[in-house]
Structure 1
Amino acid sequence: MENKVIFIGASGFVGTRLIETALSQFEISNFDKNQSHFYPDLTQIGDVRDQGSLDKALIGQKTVVLLAAEHRDDVSPTSLYYDVNVQGTKNVIDAMKKSNVNNIIFTSSVAIYGLNKINPNENHPHDPFNHYGKSKWQAEEVLRKWYNESPEERSLTIIRPTVIFGERNRGNVYNLLKQISGGKFAMVGPGKNYKSMAYVGNIVEFIKYKLENITQSYEVYNYVDKPDLNMNELAAEVEKSLNKKIPSVHIPYPVGMLGGYCFDILSKLTGNKYAISSVRVKKFCATTQFDATKVHSSGFKPPYTLQQGLDRTLQYEFVADKKDDITFISE
């Protein structure tokens, strides 16, 4: 009973690695609207918007790890962010109350801080710039209210990861690494903006670490693998890992934004979604650095350096032979 953990939304990129990491130590079940490629025998199909299926899934559980979220930049309608991320969290809390489950680990996001903030720590004011960030902050508020109702009995850990990358992921970092490694990369701006990143192999180990050390308390952690790299340094790491010279072209920021707006218009006219948009250009050129002193002072030791995570990802994606073509799409 003590080691029974239900992962909600663990059929995707982070969840799959988390199950793999924690399976030997915990009795795990997965509740997800999608079937798991690798762990179908542990997976119950269900949606966080369906209270009844959540209620059944949480019977007998000890701890919840809530990963489920709408997180892409282009979710439509935007109400889905709030239906899944906020109301879904409320539904999970209601199910927890019915089954007397008092421990939850929740993956939020550094998106709650907004863009171009100066190295915010966990106490920095929230200022989300998009619906994803706003909905994640509202979900956090739901969880804090639940915790404060009975703090002597409950455990709440909120983890705010920066952008997560790793093997099998198909998101913005993968697209960037693919462009750089293929020599088709154009740097928008001077490339001196820093990017906080998190390797999936490290963040799942941190979640497992918190599962191993549950206490009746409320904690919030930014998760970032340090030290941060700027865009020029990231390109240099790709060169080093792949042992190849990467040509780079620098495009002025105003020109890059103009191109992004053009793709926005084209997307509205055609109904198609494109890899380039004004939001993505803005995010690419923003400094996204976050203070992770707390997580790295918690006793947790990440098994990989950021450079090792990048190298493992690059070697898997662009050098080694693939055993299968299973990938996970995210931002």
Structure 2
Amino acid sequence: MPNTIEPGTRVLVIGSSGFVGSHLDAAFGDLGVELVRFDLHPDPHGQHETIVGDVRDVEALTEAMAGCTAVLNLAAAHHDFGISTETFESVNVGGARAVCAAMEHHGITNLCFYSSVAVYGEHSEPPDETTVPTPVNDYGRTKLAAEAVYREWESTATDGAPRRALIVRPAVVFGPRNFANLYKLIRQIHTRRFLPVGPGSNRKSMCYVTNLVEAIAYLWSAPSRLPSGEVEVYNYADKPDQTSRETVTEVYRALGRREPAVRIPLAPALLAAKPFDMVGRVTGRDLPVTSARVRKLSESETAFEAARIREVGFVPSVTLPEGIARMVRWYLSEGSSATPVVHIPPAEVSR
């Protein structure tokens, strides 16, 4: 099969030391795929040899791709705090151009790009893959620009060999070894520092990391399942979506705790968060309590359609409630004492 990952395929994984990269082994190992790891940082868990390099460095990428026939690009500037517009541009868009140049050098025609639902921006209805993207922040804008770079690469083959650019747009990803929003929620509830705010009826699309990795492997291990000529892009979110309140309830249940019956109205909670906003602006610190985070958990609706991947036959192995329960078990066994790993890319190329 052309441009699929099969037993013996050697895949360069760019951004392998990140959260999603640390969960590839099971799904890709079952396929008999060899993973070559490339990242700005060594494997934080000490399990795998990693080629240390920058996604913007064409020479380093070219050297790392020797002997590979496929590329999985997970690397990105993505944190919403502490990264400049210029760095988002250089890592996400400049990095895509560098990856394409290195693939051109080796004649590699098979790519999977880890994008994001952030490309859609804000919509009144959950976007699907046919929705016109209108990103509202640097992350979404540069992810969409990187997709365009890969689409251009895919369409400009000069040697007659067809190219493949599989693009996956995940919603919020969670699971063991992730220290983002769900981790912070679990920690606040576990340490009894959480107060429910507002009705919590806003829907949040999320995906458990094992399901996401299995979905990528499923899509990539066969030729495109979409009609000929259709752009190969997939949203990924586990369904059905949960409301914020349902997620909070699942965390309390997994911790063996009783959920508080009283909920704080949104307006006074936002007022109480204002001092934290001020401290964050003055000190430059990313504080766990901010008005934006209160709104995100209690008010903001971030739901996305993900029917396409199910229509082509993928069935996730873990339900959302079970995924939350697994993450809580990891938190209790080791996550509560672990030091969060935050990788902020440097402004300039690292060599």
TM-score (norm 1): 0.91
* 1:323 shift after superposition: 12
**Cα 1:70–1:326 shift into 2, 3 Å:** same
Q: For 1:187 and 1:325, how far apart are their aligned partners in 2?
A: 25
Report what 2:3 is aligned to: none
* 1:94 shift after superposition: 0.9
* 1:239 shift after superposition: 2.8
- Whether 1:272 and 2:272 are equivalent positions in the alignment is no
AA at the equivalent of 1:110: V
Report what 1:317 is aligned to: 331
- Whether 1:5 and 2:25 are equivalent positions in the alignment is no
Name the SS for the 1:159 alignment partner. Answer: strand
* 1:329 shift after superposition: 4.3
Name the SS for the 2:20 alignment partner. Answer: helix
Higher strand share: 1
Q: Is the 8 A contact 2:207 2:236 kept in 1?
A: yes
Q: Which segments of 5 or more consecutive residues in structure 1 lack a partner in the other structure?
A: none
**Cα 1:19–1:38 shift into 2, 3 Å:** farther
* 1:109 shift after superposition: 0.7
Q: Select 1:170's aligned residue among 156, 179, 196.
A: 179
Q: Select 1:207's aligned residue among 192, 207, 216.
A: 216
Q: For 1:97 and 1:42, how far apart are their aligned partners in 2?
A: 25
* 1:259 shift after superposition: 4.5
Identity %: 37
* 1:176 shift after superposition: 1.3
Name the SS for the 1:65 alignment partner. Answer: strand
Q: Tell me whether 41-50 or 28-37 shows the greater mean CA deviation.
A: 41-50
Query: Matched residue pairs, number?
Result: 330
* 1:64 shift after superposition: 0.5
Q: For 1:208 and 1:315, how far apart are their aligned partners in 2?
A: 26
**Cα 1:84–1:256 shift into 2, 3 Å:** farther
Q: Select 2:207's aligned residue among 195, 198, 202.
A: 198
Q: Select 2:247's aligned residue among 211, 234, 246.
A: 234
Name the SS for the 1:279 alignment partner. Answer: helix
Q: Is the 8 A contact 1:170 1:330 kept in 2?
A: no
* 1:326 shift after superposition: 6.7
* 1:116 shift after superposition: 5.0
Q: Which segments of 5 or more consecutive residues in structure 2 lack a partner in the other structure?
A: 1-6, 345-351
* 1:40 shift after superposition: 5.5
Q: Select 2:115's aligned residue among 93, 108, 112.
A: 108
**Cα 1:265–1:239 shift into 2, 3 Å:** closer
Q: For 2:262 and 2:136, how far apart are their aligned partners in 1?
A: 29
Q: For 1:203 and 1:259, how far apart are their aligned partners in 2?
A: 37
Report what 1:161 is aligned to: 170
- Whether 1:253 and 2:254 are equivalent positions in the alignment is no
Q: For 2:244 and 2:280, how far apart are their aligned partners in 1?
A: 27
Name the SS for the 1:60 alignment partner. Answer: coil
Q: Is the 8 A contact 2:166 2:220 kept in 1?
A: no
**Cα 1:274–1:327 shift into 2, 3 Å:** closer
**Cα 1:20–1:190 shift into 2, 3 Å:** same
Name the SS for the 1:272 alignment partner. Answer: coil
Q: Is the 8 A contact 2:10 2:70 kept in 1?
A: yes
* 1:262 shift after superposition: 3.8
Q: For 1:175 and 1:132, how far apart are their aligned partners in 2?
A: 21
AA at the equivalent of 1:85: N
Q: Select 1:131's aligned residue among 133, 138, 151.
A: 138
- Whether 1:290 and 2:309 are equivalent positions in the alignment is no
Q: Tell me whether 59-68 or 261-270 shows the greater mean CA deviation.
A: 261-270
* 1:58 shift after superposition: 1.4
* 1:115 shift after superposition: 3.2
- Whether 1:26 and 2:39 are equivalent positions in the alignment is no
AA at the equivalent of 1:163: V
* 1:51 shift after superposition: 1.4
Report what 2:348 is aligned to: none
Q: For 2:273 and 2:343, how far apart are their aligned partners in 1?
A: 20
Q: For 1:222 and 1:301, how far apart are their aligned partners in 2?
A: 14
Report what 2:151 is aligned to: 144
Q: Is the 8 A contact 1:166 1:200 kept in 2?
A: yes
